[in-house]
Amino acid sequence: MSIYNGITPQGYLIMVLASFGAILYGFDNGWWSTLVGETTFLCDYGAKVTTGGVLKCNLSTPQQAAGTGVGPAGIVLGCLISIYVNEYFGRKQGLNITAIVSMVGIIIEMTSAAGAKPRYGQFVAGKVINSIGMGLTANIVPIYLSETSTSSARGSVINMYQTVQIIGAVVAGGVVYAVSTRSDRSAYLIPMGVQAVAPGLMLLSSPFLPESPRWLVWKGRKEEAIEAASKLFARPTNRFDAVDYCDKLELAYQEEKSSAEATGWLDLIRQPDLRRLLIAIGVQSLQHAQGSSYMTSYIVSFLIGTGVTNYYPIVMALNCVYLVACGTGYLLPDVFGRRHLLLTPSAVCGACLITVAALVTAYPTPPPAVQKASIGLIFIWYFFFGVQGPAVWMVTAESAPARNREKVLGMATFFGFGVSLIINFVAPYIQNKGYGNLGSKIGFIWGTFSLLMVFYTYFWVPEYKGHSLEQIDYLCGQGIPARKFGMYHFTDNVLATAVDVEDAKGAEAVVQVDEVEESK
């Protein structure tokens, strides 16, 4: 059976439109990581120093740390806010709120250049507000995509978030590169202004998006849920029964609520929610600790440390490789599963960065051969990290239980971007001259965390492939070990039960689980 079975053309289009919000995060990473090497921006916002008759402009280390670190700080704040936006306003209105917040931040960023002297403090303030929108996006979009897809295609659908995000980074790098030769303020105002495309698209597409049927069922708005489910899954030829579908969602949710020992935040410190929270926090935190946030924010500095001078084309090529790698997320996670796409890429990424760090250590002034080897290893790192990235977001979204979905995902991204925040603030002091002076030897640190990801995934992360969100709730509730999730399948596409929905209402559901031999 095709992994796209049950996905309708209109449903797929709706999910593409919902993914526009991911451009926010991708574009911010893309334009900032390349803008820190753009001369006009550095001269206007940084310090000018004339050495040997040559004018050089640079952001100070505190400025660089602030400009890069406030992004994750805003995202962390946005992750916390998203818990309540997601829960009380829903997914659709949450996307609208995200777009408005981002627009405000972008306006503040651009107006920081008004007047005789651009104001770096105002620019940073605008970046914080825009980053809050990114934090909202990082929670709302994956939840929406996971709740509006079929079980067989959920991995592919969630991958839209990652793909659109990388498209944003590629476009951002291209825009900065295209205007890099300009000598006036348009060299950085154009990239700042292009950021507004993402929230603009979000607002324009909003009227075409239905609310998540699951969220509507959980809020007791069943008639609206039936209408939304029909819009997502019904076609004249597939005989989709929206009423039956929403009945099953309602039954599963009521069973999940009745099995809880506590409600709300207290659930998160009790099993099985604690286990699911730790899985989501673990994969998010280790993704950033492997060097994700460092490579997106400081890739130019890392390349310079390996001896590269013409870094713009390399950055563009790396983003394109990353985009191609993310494209594998439309097939591989739903065919081979999430665990395999976390284990193998983590091992390869760790080997690549540790090798680069070792080469830089052995050759303080890298010869051409070492430079080429380092660049090649960085390309390999980008590809395999791009393969891994979609799986991280899939596991995060799927680990969140129905009754505390917003809280678990919000806390996972809060800790994940919290790690990113620490890295972005600390990295300049670790690698820059006059401080830690590690340079590209910082790869030893990120490579070690990649190896930790391998062990964490093997022992802790379950295989969610092929299970509905409701079935995942059941398996976690039964305390099934992580490495045995793949041994179970169910007779229903939604429920982990063998009873008819109508007969099961108000009665204890009987679970029929067929254990099969795990295929590896």
Domains along the chain? Answer: 1-216 (1.20.1250.20), 255-512 (1.20.1250.20)
Q: How far apart are CA 211 and CA 213, in angstroms?
A: 6
333: Cα separation from own chain's centroid: 16
Distances, alpha carbon 449 to alpha carbons 70, 96, 261, 290, in Å = 23, 36, 35, 5
Torsion 308-317-202-221 (CA) sign: negative
Helix segments in 180-262, DSSP class H: 186-194, 197-205, 213-218, 222-233, 242-258
pTM score, two decimals? 0.73
Q: Are 302 and 295 in contact (CB under 8 A)?
A: yes
- The torsion of the CA quartet 178, 181, 184, 187, rounded to 10 degrees, works out to 30
Q: Would you write out the chain's pLDDT as a tens digit for each of its 520 residues?
A: 444 555 667 777 777 777 777 787 777 766 776 676 677 888 888 777 776 666 777 777 778 777 777 777 888 899 889 989 988 899 899 999 999 999 999 999 999 988 888 898 899 899 899 989 988 988 888 888 888 877 767 777 778 887 888 788 778 777 877 887 787 888 888 888 888 888 898 898 888 888 999 899 988 899 999 999 888 888 777 778 889 888 888 887 777 666 655 557 777 788 888 899 999 999 999 998 887 767 766 666 666 666 666 666 777 788 788 888 988 888 888 888 889 999 999 999 999 989 988 887 888 777 888 878 888 888 899 899 989 988 998 899 888 887 788 888 888 988 988 888 788 777 777 766 666 667 667 788 889 999 999 999 999 999 988 788 888 888 888 888 888 887 777 777 777 654 333 343 443 444 444 444 444 3
Residue 451 CA: distances (Å) to CA of 22, 349, 458 = 28, 8, 11
Taking the C-alpha atoms of residue 476 and residue 470, their distance in angstroms, rounded to an integer, is 10
Task: Please give the distance of CA 177 from its chain centroid, rounded to a whole number.
Answer: 25
Q: What is the DSSP letter of 510?
A: P
Model pLDDT, residue 33: 66
Burial (Cβ within 10 Å: 0-12, 13-18, ≥19) of residue 358: middle
Residue in the block written with tokens 């660089």: 64
What pLDDT does residue 37 have? 67
Question: Could you tell me the two tokens for 87?
Answer: 């829960």
